[in-house]
Structure 1
Amino acid sequence: MKSIVKKMFLKQALAAVGLMALVACETVQTTQSGAVGVDRQQHMAVPAEALEQAAREEYAKLMAEERSKGALNRNAAQVERVRAIANRLVPQTVVFRPDARAWAWEVNVLTSPEVNAWCMPGGKMAVYTGLIEKLQITDDELAAVMGHEIAHALREHARERASEQAVAGTLISVGAAVLGVGDLGQKTAEYAYMGLLGLPNSRRHETEADRVGVELAARAGYDPRAAVTLWQKMGQLGGGEPIKFLSTHPSQTDRLNDLTAYSQRVMPLYEQSRKHR
């Protein structure tokens, strides 16, 4: 009987928390769809201003640390190259969201063997020298990487993930407390959430960023097909790819197929851009 009462109370508690979470969430259309047709609505429980402020503070802290190590913008030629590409990509963001042109964009190059690049909310970017040097990256391929990372910021994927985790964390904590399952039970619930919802959402974010990224590159006059050669190079770095179900990225095959299709879709934009350069 106690078990039945506990389950009934859990249902009521979760329903109440779920209702509060839904009320707190805002349904938004962060970007216009563009030629690639990314038009999924998103549910946000975290204010955009709060995340952008945190991003500005974290970025400033990180750049200060890199400067103290002598790793910030060490190679002037690389910095000039990266910023020149950014200067062509950023104006194209207005196609997806007009307010992005007014963001306080900042682009820096970090000396690190890591093959990486990222763009924080509000347009704070970094490109690692490992990405440039290990891949012997072309300008078109670099534009594909940077366009992809800019797309994450335009779509506010970080805010969406934070919102999902905030709502899920609340539901999981309430459920664990009511059932008395303790830390182990709560951890199990968290892993279940990541497997059933968290990771698939991350893969969806990656696909959206791929598609928006190739359009940004094409509109900026960079060959969108370079996104395909970029990920082919990524696949040749070695180490083997993780099991698809547990990966936050699409499988190599799925990604290449999708990029091939969408790069072809935006080829007319690329050709049009080339005529005006």
Structure 2
Amino acid sequence: MPAELPLLPLVSDCGNCFGLCCVALPFAKSADFAQNKAAGTPCRNLAEDFRCGIHTELRESGYTGCTVFDCFGAGQKVSQVTFGGVDWRRDPASAPAMFAAFPVMRQLHELLRYLDEALALPAAAPLVPRLRRAFDDIDALTRGEADALAALDVAGVRAGVSGLLLEASELARAGLPGRRRNHRGADLVGAKLRKADLRGANLRGTYLIGADLRDADLRGADVTGADLRGADLRGADLTGALFVTQVQLAAARGDAATRLPAALARPPHWTA
């Protein structure tokens, strides 16, 4: 095991990754991918330097699925920490272990990203010791050996953190005005929610595929794991929305009038 590095950013750094998402993960020919690819097989667009040969034309080339994926920094952690900077091309024997560790690391880094956000919520101050302990425990797991990562009960780890994140969410949403709707896990596929008042709503795991959320008020809503593929967010207000990821925004539609949490960027494919 190489010497530990400081905590790496919880966002993708493809320049320090060995193209793991383009090799380790499978995908099927569909509206999101132009071809089938088996797990452990390099994508045909992966270059020798581990960069994507069609990165600037992914959507036009039929690889929309690639544009809505974020490893939350797991790729560089596996590449540079777990395997000490030795890539699977130089050491083919390491490939199976590297590819098995990557999806586990990705889930752990996603949890770290949520915990990091929860730690910054002023209303969640009473939970800081528990949130910090959970963050440190999961960070320690990410620095384990590849075999330990592959054997990890990620579902158990996630279950142990989920309740704590919900507590932080409830504290953050408690001070918001109006009725805080609970749509947790609801099927709202294609729902007509234009101009809906969803301030402080619980939308954790909600299916909002293709939903009309134009001009909806989502301030302070908890959207942890909400499926926003094709959702229309034009003019919607997500100011202060909790646990929004760049992936969710990239999967949705929006425009210049869509208001976002300060830490997130407007996807380049959104309309002006």
Scaled by the length of structure 1, the TM-score of the pair is 0.26
Relative to total residues, which structure has the larger helix share, 1 or 2?
1
Structure possessing the higher radius of gyration over alpha carbons: 1
Scaled by the length of structure 2, the TM-score of the pair is 0.26
Relative to total residues, which structure has the larger strand share, 1 or 2?
1
